[in-house]
Structure 1
Amino acid sequence: MRATPSGLTAEASVFEGYMRRARGIDASFSGPAEVSEALQTGAAGEPRQLESGMIAYAAVAALQEPRFVDGLRGSRADRGDLARRLASDPAYALELPGGEAAAARAAGALASQGEALRAQGLKVKRAAYSVQHQAWSKRNVPDPRGRLARVKQLSSEPMRGGEDAARLYAAMAEGGRRGGAASPAVTRAVAVAALNVLGQEGRGRALMSEPRTASCLRIAKLNLYQCLAAAGPQYEDIFCLGEHAMAETGSCVADATRASRVSYRR
């Protein structure tokens, strides 16, 4: 396990913590209180923080590639010039020794997180249908406007961190490696990792966002709001939770590792 900059690790831990809590939502609902609690858990992902945390998570995974880190530390190239090159052309990080292997680690770690959340979201979505044999699920949600306002408030609040590093690295190890062409998000993550090794964390901040992923996460959140605004009975809240807060968000994360624009079908 390679040591990583504390700031990057903190952001990665926030991302990992949210994804773990969201995919921990149990699809076996027995009453409105459980639906409300699950909805609050799933809605607690602030899109911009989720995006930057996602890239930080992939960057920390890239830093677990020994050849990549050792190559940067032992490089005879001028560090300032190298940092400027990486900041202006993130894809250059893939050409560095161990760069492609670092990208494979980053893609594997990130894809694993997204796929797991998507899979659990689909289970919750299916529960929206199976739960309808229970009478409570067909009763309307009380104070739907208040519920939507609370979800929007949660979605705008900073996500909490404080997760331990051991849990973070264990989650990354489970992701393995994913080869193939690096996506824009993974490419940026590898460049961020390189800049952190070079002591140029400030330059890396500008790379902690990726337009395609940012748009996907924002749309997923808007779809959640629209779904809840139209929802009536409890089972429809379960559907909105599974489809948009979980499966769609998970697809955004998994798709961020794909070089093409092909998306998962939900």
Structure 2
Amino acid sequence: MRPSTLRGGFAALIAIALAGCITNAEPPRRRVVQAPPPGPPRAYVDVGLAGQAVAFEAYTRRAAAIDAGFSGPAEIAQALQTAAGYEPRQLEGGMVAYGAMAALQEPAFVAGIRAQGRGLASRLAADPGAAMDLPGGSAAAARANAALARRGEALADAGRRVKQAAYSVQHQPWSRARVPNAAQRLAAVERTSAGGYRPDPADHARLTAALADSGRRAGSSPVIERSLAVAALTALGDDGAARSLMRDPKSGMCLREAKLNFHQCLASAGTHYEDIYCLGLHAMADPGQCVVDATRPARVRQARLD
């Protein structure tokens, strides 16, 4: 989206909303409406970012909602499919996009981006951390940090509850039975994993609601810095440079290892309660912790003076 279309984007959204309200009523009478005085800068939401962020929001929400009170193999099978519903690279990029959209809810940050002009894009492409120095940068980082941490913590906590259920469920005889179709179950999980995000018509509305109620948490990290830089570059219309910052090597490796461990755990599991263990630890708690860790400052190795 180019800078010249930013205001047009808002107008288009308003027009679409109004069009949905049109009925067969008679045409309204013409009225002269006085324009309201200018208000503070409005938060900017980019449709391209939303397309990536929605995959992150949808997966973390769906997986975190898995109930640990399993009553039979059918519920476990459904939960495995739900938790398998992310592709690591897609989730990695979606995480940065989600943080960027949270940052763009900070009006002072958006105003600071526009005041800097086009020269800002080349600086951010070379040094994403420079976004923190923009007016409103700290406030935008607090929004991005809180939004991502909230998602990661909810998923990790839900995973720990499911993992605990793998022990408590063993007093039920069915949980100790062998999984009869283990090979087919693993193949189905791998297909779902490869497919990644499964769209739902209500997901974009849920994304908007989640961003509006994500809170603030002070602190930065390489992923938060990338989120702010992507937000700024997208607002400036430099989508190519923004896309180049949608990857974080450390977080990406963490998510890929979680997925690999999930598949390997299922391959060696034999009973239903072992499936629950794999689900809770590797498909939920592990990727959730990857997201939480992505919001924390990078560790600085201190030199030893001998």
Shift, 1:114, TM fit: 0.1
- Secondary structure at the aligned position of 1:140 is classed as coil
Q: Deviations over 1:50-85 (max 9, x none)?
A: 01011100000000011000111233x4x0x31111
Aligned counterpart for 1:91 among listed residues 104, 120, 129: 129
Q: Provide the residue aligned with 2:29 in structure 1.
A: none
Aligned counterpart for 1:238 among listed residues 269, 276, 290: 276
Alignment of 1:67-146 (within 5 A): 67-75=108-116, 77=117, 79=118, 81-146=119-184
Q: Please identify the structure whose Cα radius of gyration is greater.
A: 2
Shift, 1:11, TM fit: 1.1
Contact 1:111 1:175 in 2 (8 A): no
- Secondary structure at the aligned position of 1:175 is classed as coil
Alignment of 1:1-266 (within 5 A): 2-75=43-116, 77=117, 79=118, 81-161=119-199, 162-180=201-219, 182-260=220-298
Runs of 4+ with deviation above 4 angstroms: none
- Secondary structure at the aligned position of 2:189 is classed as helix
Contact 2:85 2:198 in 1 (8 A): no
Contact 1:17 1:163 in 2 (8 A): no
Runs of 5+ consecutive residues of structure 2 not aligned to the other structure = 1-41, 301-306
User: Letter of the aligned partner of 1:175 in structure 2?
Assistant: S
**When the two structures are aligned, how many residues end up with a matched partner?**
258
- Secondary structure at the aligned position of 1:27 is classed as coil
CA distance in 1, matches of 2:245, 2:134: 18
Runs of 5+ consecutive residues of structure 1 not aligned to the other structure = none
CA distance in 2, matches of 1:132, 1:10: 41
Shift, 1:42, TM fit: 0.3
Q: Deviations over 1:10-52 (max 9, x none)?
A: 2111110111110111111011000000001001111000010
Contact 1:103 1:187 in 2 (8 A): yes
Q: Deviations over 1:184-207 (max 9, x none)?
A: 111101000000111111210000
Contact 1:47 1:221 in 2 (8 A): yes
Shift, 1:164, TM fit: 4.3
CA distance in 2, matches of 1:139, 1:158: 30
CA distance in 2, matches of 1:9, 1:38: 26
Contact 2:156 2:286 in 1 (8 A): yes
CA distance in 1, matches of 2:205, 2:298: 33
CA distance in 2, matches of 1:68, 1:156: 36
CA distance in 2, matches of 1:14, 1:103: 21
Shift, 1:261, TM fit: 5.1
CA distance in 2, matches of 1:231, 1:186: 37
Higher relative contact order (CA 8 A, sep 6+): 1
CA distance in 1, matches of 2:50, 2:153: 22
Q: Deviations over 1:178-234 (max 9, x none)?
A: 112x11111101000000111111210000010000010001011111111111110
CA distance in 2, matches of 1:261, 1:237: 34
Contact 1:13 1:163 in 2 (8 A): no
- TM-score w.r.t. length of structure 1: 0.93
Output the aligned Cα RMSD: 1.5
Identity across matched positions, percent: 58
Shift, 1:88, TM fit: 1.3
User: Letter of the aligned partner of 1:66 in structure 2?
Assistant: P
Q: Deviations over 1:85-116 (max 9, x none)?
A: 11111011111111121111101100000000
Shift, 1:169, TM fit: 2.8
